[in-house]
Amino acid sequence: MRAVLLSIGRRVRRFPSVSATVGVGLVALIMTAAGLGEVARIGVTVFVIGIAALQLWQMVRQFRGGHWGLDVLSVLAIASTVAVGEYWAALVVALMITGGGALESYASARARSQMDALMQRTPRVAHRVDDSGTVSDIEVDAVMVGDVLLVKPGEMVPVDGELIDGPAEFDQSSITGESLPVELTTGATAPSGSVNGDRAIRLRAVSIAGDSQYQLIVALVADAASTKARFVRIADRVSIPFTGVALGLAALGWALSGDPVRAAEVLVAATPCPLLIAAPVAFVAGMGNAARNGVIIKSGDSLEALAHPRTVTFDKTGTLTGGAPRVERIDPVAGTTVAQVLSLAAGAEALSPHVLARAVVDAAAEAGIAGDDLTEVREQPGAGVLADRAGEAVRVGKPAFVLDGRQDPFPLLPLGDTAIAVSLAGIIIGRIVLRDQIRPEARGVVAGLRALGVPRIAMLTGDAERTAFHVAEQLGIDEVHADLLPADKVRIVAAAPERPVVMVGDGVNDAPVLAAADVGVAMGARGATAASESADVVILLDNLDRLDVAIAIARRTMRIATQSIWIGIGLSLALMLAATTGVVPAIVGALAQEVIDVVTILNGLRAMRNPR
């Protein structure tokens, strides 16, 4: 019994306006039964006028902000029912207004459950092991890079860490969606959010909590959950004509009957809670469904644009390809060794986040070659790196950037290969040839986009034209823009004639064009990048087919939101027409509108399910 009372108390505190409305109704019923009907009428009338005044104040504030809504019908419904003495109907309308917010809150909580569950699982405590082997519990935010941490069986890895006690199995389903355990060996990185297997392990922190994989995912989810998107724009498009029709039918009912009560009955039937609730519930449900499928959609505006893209553009490396290129060979010029070329390139690329740079650095490490000690290292985005070695200029990057107008001494590369050229003191000393494999799912994704009706699909890449066309031909992409700098990508996306434009990319160089697109989609599975921060949509799994899934979810969500609104409009119009003839008393119309609320909410919650 106590638990029931506590539960009721929590709901009263959570929805005070609803509780007050119900309380006033119960007191009025008791007073009426006790022969105090006039006092009950006065009390209910004063209360509902207060509700109408609050609604009117909110309506004025919205109007000042440039937003015309449907609240005017709610205010008119209360005012008209009070004016004709239908105070019980006025109370039901007040309950509809206050209860609409409660219903939306409940439905949104259900729809947001996937996001909430993700945030609630965030690690908060880490077990730090000191030099003596003593284990102490600390806040996750207190973990420093280099700390040795103990992760007990079944616990979540608190921060990204290098495994000390390998091999070990981890459940990474919360961050990758992969249901099968993943085995990691000593030295491998276990991302935060992974769940340890059946034995305790130690790892060395390689990131602080704020920069770790799971916390970054949670931050993206929290940002999406807190965004107050313009969910009601769909309803706004019909608000003025709907209001006009409702007022016209109210006037018609009054004119036909000569009774102002008829107008009040029509206005009660027109109370537009379904239009105000339907779209937000569907949008939140769709965003929660996308999160469950490994895609974070940061706002309702992004979801709406993602539902009907007219142009989809892709970066190549890391997006259409696997993003883990490997050095195939090194071509030194005469008089230069492979080691000299590789050490100079590794020294220049040591701090670059680009995937090709990482491949060069990894190749040098595998060969046991240390990078040269360079100074004045500075990166030219989309081109390469400039540096200095003992007074001699160093250039490492795209052949065109390194050659700087001089003739290329090397033969053409085979299709599919990419080269990084290296020069010292203005003289080419060699090139590093890399190869990246096309993602196995990429062709299916392009075909899926065409099946979804996307008319224009293009590739935007900084790679050489021959390599870009070779990849595009294999994937069925017929529009290619190659040898681009980041600014060139932005220009092409901004000038795209068919919109909305969706840009899919990965890496720091893609951040500007992702921000410039109508919808920027970042492949964020490998951790935090500027791309994820500037994108509107982040794919958490290292799998490009999530793009088709995200578009399908967005499309279904928009369809359900629109459908819910038209269901509400249709049922409300039918109810108004019936009220015009006088067959629907005011209180019956108000109760019928409550039923319409529930119907539209339940329909909106269908967006929680995956599209077929």
508: number of Cβ within 10 Å:
17
Between the alpha carbon of residue 542 and those of residues 201, 295, 315, 525, the distances in Å are 26, 11, 15, 5
259 φ/ψ sector (left φ>0, alpha ψ -120 to 50, else beta): beta
Residue 539, SS3?
strand
Amino acid type, 22: V
CA proximity to 310, closest of 451, 449, 455: 455
Nearest to 162 by CA among 202, 123, 124: 202
The answer to whether the beta carbons of residues 346 and 369 sit under 8 Å apart is yes
Phi-psi region of 313 (alpha: psi -120 to 50; beta: other; left: phi over 0): beta
d(CA 312, CA 11): 46
Provide Rg for the chain, Cα atoms.
31
The one-character DSSP state at 412 is: P
Cβ atoms of 252 and 583 closer than 8 Å: no
Alpha-carbon gap, residue 238 to 261, rounded angstroms: 26
From 315, 463, 510, 548, the catalytic residue = 315
Amino acid at 386: L
DSSP 115-153: HHHHHHT---EEEEE-TT--EEEEEGGG--TT-EEEE-T
| CA–CA distance, 49 with 78 (Å, rounded to integer) | 7
Report CA-CA distances (Å) from 553 to 50, 235, 373, 538, 571.
42, 20, 51, 14, 27
- How many angstroms separate the CA atoms of 385 and 379, rounded? 4
Q: CB under 8 Å to 174, separation ≥6 — which residues? A: 118, 121, 193, 194, 195, 214
Q: CA angle, 411 as apex, 351 and 474 as ends, to 5°?
A: 75
Strand spans (E) along 440-489: 456-460, 479-481
The amino acid present at 208, given as its one-letter code, is I
Q: How do beta strands 456-460 and 479-481 pair?
A: parallel
Asked if 315 is an active-site residue, the reply is yes
Active site residues: 315
